[in-house]
Amino acid sequence: MEAPLLHLALVGTPNSGKTSLFNALTGSRQKVANYPGVTVERKEGFFVTPLGRQVSVVDLPGTYSLRGRSPDEEITRDIVLGKASGETRPDLVLCVADSTNLRLTIRLLLELKRTGRPIVLVLNMFDIATRRGITVDVTQMADALGVPVVTSIAVRKGGTADLLKLTDEISAGVAPQPQENNWRPLSVAELRATQREADRIIASTVSLPSRPDTWTARIDAVVLHPVGGLIVLALILFVMFQAVFAWAQPLMELLSSSFDALGQFVHDTLPAGLLQSFLQNGVISGVGSVIVFLPQIIIIFLFILLLEDFGYMARAAFLMDRIMGGAGLHGRAFIPLLSSFACAIPGIMATRVIDNRRDRLTTILIAPLMTCSARIPVYTLIISAFIPPKQVWGFINLQGLVMFGLYAAGIISALLVSFLIKFFMLRDYAPAPFMLELPDYKMPRPKSIAIGIFTRAKMFLQRAGTTIFSMMVLIWFLASFPQPPAGAADPAINYSLAAILGKAIAPLLAPVGFNWQIAVALIPGMAAREVAVAALGTVYAIEGGKEAAEQIGQVLATKWSLATALSLLAWYIFAPQCASTLAVIRRETGSWKWMATTFAYMLALAYAASLVVYNVAVALGAG
Amino acid sequence: MTDDKTTLPQTSADTPSGSPLGLAERGYSGVIQHLSAGGAGSALSDVELESRLIELGFVEGAKVEILHEGIVGRDPIAVRVDNVTIAVRRREAMAIIVA
């Protein structure tokens, strides 16, 4: 009979190398999800020990204690104590320590011991410690702590052999049996006492280096310099942006044209009709519009994971903390918000670097206000059709100025919304003060990075893909049914549910200056913002889709007033016109409530902004 | 911004000597005398602030050195505590009394 699955849990302080140990143990056999109802990532992986025992291991959120001061840390505490519903109590807790920095982990371990769970201390990154001249008397430390101690080098092949061997011994029943749980939240005096105890054990078992890590000090002298550090940060961001826009572009175009070609192939192969339209416009363009984001997501995560592994992320947060703090944002929100200029989807996914739930939620809610690249086609269409390319003050192009204004409006409104959220909505949540370990720099390991990117890409395709895909099919359905009567003169979409809906909501949009054609185009535009351009073309019966943008512009210039055009620009700054983003918000927050909140507040802002812009423009004679 | 108000913690009879780390300049190095969360003006409760500081290694007798500071209001600060570097805002560092 096969032995039951052995459950391990990895516990450790942030930066202890927990995740690289997790990657080393499980390789790509990982499942990443959220714990039910909370914005906390649940990472579980599987491996088989040398003696053939099946093992499941969870990578618990990093923590300095079991007090549970945030939802992430509560998860760690509840799982270790076996109080988390739907989670198996771990058979063995692996307390992971960065061997170069034992103080905080040994204190955590002393606290963990009180839970009575079988515990092993894993001295990770032992190679780095050895290289720095740190020596640890492992046997004596195990005696002093009263738990088994193993060393590991997660990033080296075979570096976890001792740990695997010990796991086998424990699963064979040689090792510690569970004791009674004596844990309760520690008082300040007990915390002090455990830290003293930890320092005493370290003093008797570890000889600290004669040489401190001079590399970290040298890099920090530049990277954390008040002025120089910001310049370095700007340079890194510049390269990152270049990569996201420039490197991803050819791949995105390739993907996009492959899907177009596939759609065309289906179009040519199948007889005209519902099936042809469903496959080409529903399935293929629906799936295509999701997959086309994959290169950007991979590149953004490549940068984020590299910077995180290197140890730079905490420094970026340090540099930006006070600058972002004025708007109620955490320093760590900086990179996700920046990524959102490319696309809100990877931006929202990148909020996982923010460990405080409140800060993360605020960042997720405002990320879609950053002007993403999908708005650019809409902006360029309207600007080139309605804004004359004249020079103002002799050297500024008016069209460029309007474009800049649209970006600025997005950023300013994001900061205002964040401020309001901080003030009104999440007041009951204890704010996270900025207290952060700045870990020593470490060379990022390609394997760990590759696993990280692979997991993210898979997650994006699997889960966002299914939700986005079903919304695409819904939108196709709305734009295709009912079918136009035989011999109909107008474009097919004008007979569809989308047109019926569009005409029904047109009176609501009349105060902001939108005609029914715009209302109809906004519905397929829900799939992705740039689709609205093609949809306007369809509604105004112009063949040729996106390529005909210039031609669409000429038509629009004759049909719309300037006030309507400006109103539509204002609408697009705010409107929640992207089913994919909403689907990702739903997934990352684990709640329909926050998706609905985002949709509602952005819609309200869009309507208000358009209303003001339209009426001011009409009053100024642009109607 | 209110963060710039750095009021001295109340020094009562049981706090013999020392000054808050939150007022120290870059390059300062010293030894932690005691923690006094009461006057720090942090958004956290006194017990919570003290607990967090201890969990990050700020205990009596630890050697501290201010390595770096931010550009706005010279805040936050990067503090070397024994062999770990911790970033904190000056407001929270007011609770750490050093000499």
Q: For A364-386, how does the pLDDT look when each residue is reduced to its tens digit (9 = 90+)?
A: 999 999 888 778 778 878 888 88
Higher pLDDT, A19 or A425: A19
> In this predicted structure, what is the pLDDT of residue A53?
86
Does residue B47 belong to the interface with chain A, where contact is any CB pair within 8 Å? yes
Identify residue A423 by its one-letter amino acid code: F
Contact A322 B57 (CB under 8 A): no
Higher pLDDT, A212 or A524: A524
Lowest mean pLDDT among A189-193, A345-349, A424-428: A424-428
Distance from CA of A527 to the nearest CA of B (A): 42
Q: What is the pLDDT of residues A117-159, one digit of tens each?
A: 889 999 998 888 888 888 899 999 999 999 999 998 877 777 8
Range of the domain at B74: 17-98
Higher pLDDT, A466 or A329: A329
Interface of B with A in 1-30 (CB under 8 A): 1, 3
Contact A64 B82 (CB under 8 A): no
pTM: 0.78
Average per-residue pLDDT in chain A? Answer: 82
Q: Is the pLDDT of residue A171 over 70?
A: yes
Higher pLDDT, A281 or A565: A565
Over range A589-610, report the average pLDDT. Answer: 91
What 3-state class would DSSP assign to A341?
Answer: coil
Residue of A nearest to B86 (CA): A437
Over range A572-590, report the average pLDDT. Answer: 84
Pick the residue of A435, A440, A442 with the most B CBs within 10 A to test the interface with B by mutation: A435
Over range A225-234, report the average pLDDT. Answer: 90
Pick the residue of B55, B59, B81 with the most A CBs within 10 A to test the interface with A by mutation: B55
Residue A100's nearest CA partner among A216, A197, A219, A19 is: A216
- Is A190 exposed, middle or buried, given 0-12, 13-18 or 19+ CB atoms closer than 10 A? middle
> In this predicted structure, what is the pLDDT of residue B7?
46
**ipTM for this model:** 0.84
Lowest mean pLDDT among A64-78, A337-351, A529-543: A529-543
Contact B54 A188 (CB under 8 A): yes
Higher pLDDT, A483 or B10: A483
Q: How far is CA A228 from the centre of its chain?
A: 28
Q: What is the pLDDT of residues A411-426, one digit of tens each?
A: 889 989 988 887 776 6
What 3-state class would DSSP assign to B69?
Answer: strand
Contact B88 A435 (CB under 8 A): yes
What 3-state class would DSSP assign to B34?
Answer: strand
> In this predicted structure, what is the pLDDT of residue A95?
95
- Residue at B8 is within a domain: no
Q: Number of folded domains in chain B?
A: 1
- Residue at B5 is within a domain: no
pLDDT grade for A213, boundaries at 50, 70 and 90: low
Q: Is the pLDDT of residue A608 over 90?
A: yes
What 3-state class would DSSP assign to A506?
Answer: helix
- Is A394 exposed, middle or buried, given 0-12, 13-18 or 19+ CB atoms closer than 10 A? exposed
What angle do helix axes A312-325 and A228-242 make, rounded to 10 degrees? 110
Instruction: Kindly report whether the peptide bond that precedes residue A482 is cis, defined as omega within 30 degrees of 0.
Output: yes
Residue of B nearest to A66 (CA): B55
Residue A82's nearest CA partner among A71, A90, A70 is: A90
Does residue B73 belong to the interface with chain A, where contact is any CB pair within 8 Å? yes
The alpha carbon dihedral of B42, B46, B47, B51 has a sign of positive
- Residue at B10 is within a domain: no
Give me the residue from A186, A191, A431 closest to B43, CB to CB.
Answer: A431
Does residue B31 belong to the interface with chain A, where contact is any CB pair within 8 Å? no
- Residue at B38 is within a domain: yes
Does residue B84 belong to the interface with chain A, where contact is any CB pair within 8 Å? yes
Residue A162's nearest CA partner among A120, A208, A197, A192 is: A120
Contact B83 A69 (CB under 8 A): no
Identify residue B94 by its one-letter amino acid code: M
Over range A577-594, report the average pLDDT. Answer: 84
Q: Which residues contact A312 (CB under 8 A, 6 or more apart)?
A: A223, A236, A441
> In this predicted structure, what is the pLDDT of residue A605?
94
Beta strands in A83-180 (DSSP E): 92-98, 119-124, 135-136, 149-151
Question: Which residues on chain A are in Cβ contact (under 8 Å) with B88?
Answer: 433-436
Give the C-alpha separation, A570 to A576, whole Å: 12
Domain-wise residue ranges, chain A = 6-212
Higher pLDDT, A173 or A333: A333
- Cα angle for residues A254, A341, A468 (degrees, 5° grid): 60
Q: Which residues contact B38 (CB under 8 A, 6 or more apart)?
A: B9, B10, B46, B95
Q: The CATH number of the domain where B87 resides is what? A: 2.30.30.90
Pick the residue of B51, B53, B79, B82 with the most A CBs within 10 A to test the interface with A by mutation: B51
Q: Is the pLDDT of residue A230 over 80?
A: yes
Q: Which two tokens stand for residue A188?
A: 């300040």
Annotation: CATH topology of A6-212: Rossmann fold (3.40.50)
Higher pLDDT, A394 or A295: A295
Q: How far is CA A218 from the centre of its chain?
A: 31
pLDDT grade for B14, boundaries at 50, 70 and 90: very low
How many CB atoms are closer than 10 A to CB A395? Answer: 6
- Cα angle for residues A399, A538, A606 (degrees, 5° grid): 50
Give the C-alpha separation, A447 to A157, whole Å: 11
Give the C-alpha separation, A522 to A525, whole Å: 5
Over range A422-435, report the average pLDDT. Answer: 67
Contact B56 A196 (CB under 8 A): no
Contact B78 A435 (CB under 8 A): no
How many CB atoms are closer than 10 A to CB B16? Answer: 10
Q: Is the pLDDT of residue B8 over 50?
A: no
Q: What is the pLDDT of residues A287-315, one digit of tens each?
A: 776 677 788 778 878 888 898 889 898 89
Q: What is the pLDDT of residues B38-88, one digit of tens each?
A: 767 777 788 888 988 998 999 998 999 999 998 888 889 999 998 889 999
Give the C-alpha separation, A239 to A219, whole Å: 19
Quote the percentage of chain B above a pLDDT of 70. 83
> In this predicted structure, what is the pLDDT of residue B6?
45
Q: What is the pLDDT of residues A471-511, one digit of tens each?
A: 667 777 877 777 777 776 666 777 788 888 888 888 999 99
Question: What one-character-per-residue DSSP string does A1-67 give?
Answer: -PPPPEEEEEEE-TTSSHHHHHHHHHTT-EEEEE-TTSS-EEEEEEEE-TT--EEEEEEPPP-SSSS
- Is A152 exposed, middle or buried, given 0-12, 13-18 or 19+ CB atoms closer than 10 A? buried
Give the C-alpha separation, A396 to B21, whole Å: 49
Q: Is the pLDDT of residue B3 over 50?
A: no
